[in-house]
Amino acid sequence: MKINFKKKFLINIFLFVLILIISEIAAFYSFRARCADIVYRHANMLKDNPKEYIRKNMPHYEFPRKFDYEKIDISIKSRIYSGEKSRPIITIGCSYTDGVGLNYNQTFAAKLNKYTKRTTYNRGVCASGPQLIYRQLSDENFKNEIPDAEYVIYPFIYNHLTRIFRTMIQPYSSDFDLSYELKNGNLSEKNHPFWFMYGSFFVKSYAEFKNNADYENDLKNGLPFFMEIMRESVFQMKKLYPDSKFVLLEVPEGAMCYENYVSGSMELNSDEIKNLEKIGIVYINAEELVGHKLRDFKYRVSDKEHPSELFWEEITPALVKKLDL
Query: Which pLDDT tens digit goes with each residue over 248-289?
Result: 999 998 877 777 777 777 899 999 999 999 999 999 999 999
Crossing angle of helices 201-220 and 5-35, in 10° steps, is 60
The number of residues making up the chain comes to 325
| Fold annotation for 66-323 | Rossmann fold (3.40.50)
Neighbours of 40 (CB within 10 A): 13
Residue-wise pLDDT tens digits, 183-208 = 887 888 876 555 445 567 787 777 77
Contacts of 162 (CB under 8 A, 6+ apart): 129, 211, 212, 215
Q: How many CA atoms lie within 13 A of 15 on its CB side?
A: 6
Total-model pTM: 0.82
CA distances for 248 relative to 64, 102, 131, 154, 245, angstroms = 31, 22, 14, 5, 10
223 exposed, middle or buried (CB, 10 Å; 0-12, 13-18, 19+)? buried
Q: Structural domain boundaries of the chain?
A: 66-323
By the 8 A CB rule, do 140 and 77 touch?
no
The predicted-structure confidence for 11-24, as pLDDT tens digits, reads as follows 888 888 898 888 88
Q: In whole angstroms, what is the distance from residue 44 CA to residue 83 CA?
A: 39
